[in-house]
Amino acid sequence: MKSSLQEFLNTLQDEGPPPRESHLLDSVWYGLKGSWDRAHEIVQDDSSTDAALIHAWLHRIEGDLANAGYWYAQARREMHGGDTREEGEAIAAELLSRVYLGSPL
């Protein structure tokens, strides 16, 4: 199932993430839902730059900026300085746009 960002965000009221589009979107979903441990568990063994970005965002949520900085560097991104909720939604939008284009995540 492919969804828009709004459709994805609407599922945050559900018990679980939408039908699997990618494990990375599952991680973002759990992060946005407030289930930090579950979100972190999903990305911690993935070595992709997308997973590193999500990992960085999760450590920002946690308040561990030193660890977040490490993961932003792994993702080849600057540390985000804005609202963590907005950053999570932007990450979801980026990942969803690639799902629509048929690119692997």
Give me 40's structure tokens.
């972190």
Rounded Cα gap, residues 99 and 97, in angstroms = 5
- Please state the rounded mean pLDDT for residues 91-97: 93
Q: Which of 14-18, 20-24, 63-67, 81-85 has the lowest mean pLDDT?
A: 20-24
- Cβ pair 11, 18 in contact under 8 A: yes
Exposed e or buried b for every residue in 15-49, given b needs 16+ CB within 10 A? eebbeebbebbbbbbbbbbeeeeebbebbeebeee
pTM of the entire structure? 0.88
Helix axes 49-62, 23-33, angle to 10 degrees: 10
| pLDDT tens digits for range 21-46 | 689 999 999 999 999 999 999 999 99
Domain 5-10+21-101, CATH number (from 1.25.40, 3.30.1560, 2.60.40, 1.10.150)? 1.25.40
- Please state the rounded mean pLDDT for residues 58-87: 96
Rounded Cα gap, residues 10 and 36, in angstroms = 19
- Please state the rounded mean pLDDT for residues 89-105: 74
Per-residue pLDDT band for 18 (boundaries 50, 70, 90) equals confident
Per-residue pLDDT band for 101 (boundaries 50, 70, 90) equals very low
- Please state the rounded mean pLDDT for residues 56-77: 97
pLDDT of residue 99: 67
How far is CA 17 from its chain centroid?
A: 12
